[in-house]
Amino acid sequence: ISNFRLFFFHDWRGRTIGHRICRRAIKLAECLYGTQVLITYSHNSSVKFYEQLGFMEVSGEFIDADILYKTMFYFPRQDKLPKLDLWGFCSVEHNYTPGECFDPAVTEKIKETIMSFKEQNIPRIVHLQHLPDENVVGYSLIRIYKECARATLVQNFTRSEQLENFLTSTIWEKLNTGHYGQVDEAWRIFYASIMMCKAVRLKFEKQIQEALHACDMGLIMGRDIDGFALSKFAQHLHSCLPEPSTPISLKTQKHLQSPAPLPNSVYVDVYELPSFEEMLKIIEIQKPVVIRGLVNQWPAFTKWK
């Protein structure tokens, strides 16, 4: 567990400077400490600030240096979950204050929360706000996305859909202005993030086919993000689709009848993978023939994977 502490002046928390400092710290922590869980201690006045960044509350209040705090943790990337040091962590080796990160109850709460999200296959959509380049996308659009993601997780679907539509229409213009190869990567990442958020909402609403379409659009017009989270979520949605209906029986299909032969029809011999000698004979006779089985090994005949 990596204990991550940042302190801000109160007037910083209402501005972008606190958000930018934390955003940079989160990126560095995930880059340098990929097997550890990011922890912060927050007092009541700053819980909402950290929640908007993607932290989750996992303890009640405890006192440290005569100040009341709550322990919050940052959800790790899904592809990093099996390698987390958390699974082998032993809190007995550490002295702790009840409520802080080394408290066994808090450690178990973190484990339960991670496993719950993993079992439900819910991507960490709030975290996606940190992926696009803020200098390109702009803080205002990232702030709208952040509100959209939080509305999705609390299942305020009316609000999240409104914000999705606004963001999608805005980013769509950026993706289709000029040559697509010259579109800044930040817009593709941002579009993929919006489609991920949309797919999560549609899954909550049991619209699996539409959610899968949103993932496809994010992968086609954007790119995969957050450790292949978008493509993995698309695979999960595909597994949730109902089984295809039973194919129509051959008895119920309309049989195609061969047309009647014409008076001047000539029978054409049919060969199934003729040998070399047979091929020489066919060439020597110089008559048209039908040869079957020659292109069975052609890659286009194999099922695409």
pLDDT tens-digit series, residues 108-154: 999 999 999 888 888 999 999 999 999 999 999 999 999 999 999 99
Of the residues 65, 98, 120, the one at which a domain ends: 120
Same domain, 21 and 116: yes
pLDDT at residue 252, as a whole number: 54
- Token pair belonging to 283: 């060439």
99 and 147 both lie in a single domain: no
pLDDT, position 171: 95
Q: H helices within the chain, ranges in order?
A: 16-32, 47-53, 104-120, 134-137, 139-153, 157-175, 185-204, 208-217, 229-240, 276-285
pLDDT recorded at residue 260: 83
Question: Which residues touch 35 (CB under 8 Å, ≥6 apart)?
Answer: 80, 83, 84, 85
pLDDT score for 54: 92
CATH number reported for the structural domain that contains residue 69 in this entry: 3.40.630
Instruction: Note the Cα 255 to chain centre separation in Å.
Output: 46
Q: Are residues 92 and 162 in the same domain?
A: no
Amino acid at position 267, single letter: Y
**Rounded Cα distance, 269 and 281, in Å:** 13
Quick one: 116 and 147 in the same domain?
no
Tell whether 299 is covered by a domain.
no
- Considering the domain boundaries, does residue 233 fall inside one? yes
Identify the domain containing residue 203 by its residue range. Answer: 127-240
Q: What is the pLDDT of residue 24?
A: 87
Do 78 and 138 sit in the same domain of this protein?
Answer: no
Neighbours of 51 (CB within 10 A): 15
DSSP letter string over 145-195? HHHHHHHHHTT-HHHHHHHHHHHHHHHHHHHTSS-GGGS-HHHHHHHHHHH
Query: 111 and 7, same structural domain?
Result: yes
Indicate the residue among 120, 151, 176 that finishes a domain.
Answer: 120
**Of 120, 136, 167, which residue constitutes the final position of a domain?**
120
Same domain, 69 and 167: no
Give residue 91's pLDDT: 66
Which residues of the chain register pLDDT less than 70?
A: 1-15, 91-92, 246-256, 301-305
Query: What's the total number of domains in the chain?
Result: 2
Q: Which amino acid is at 236?
A: H
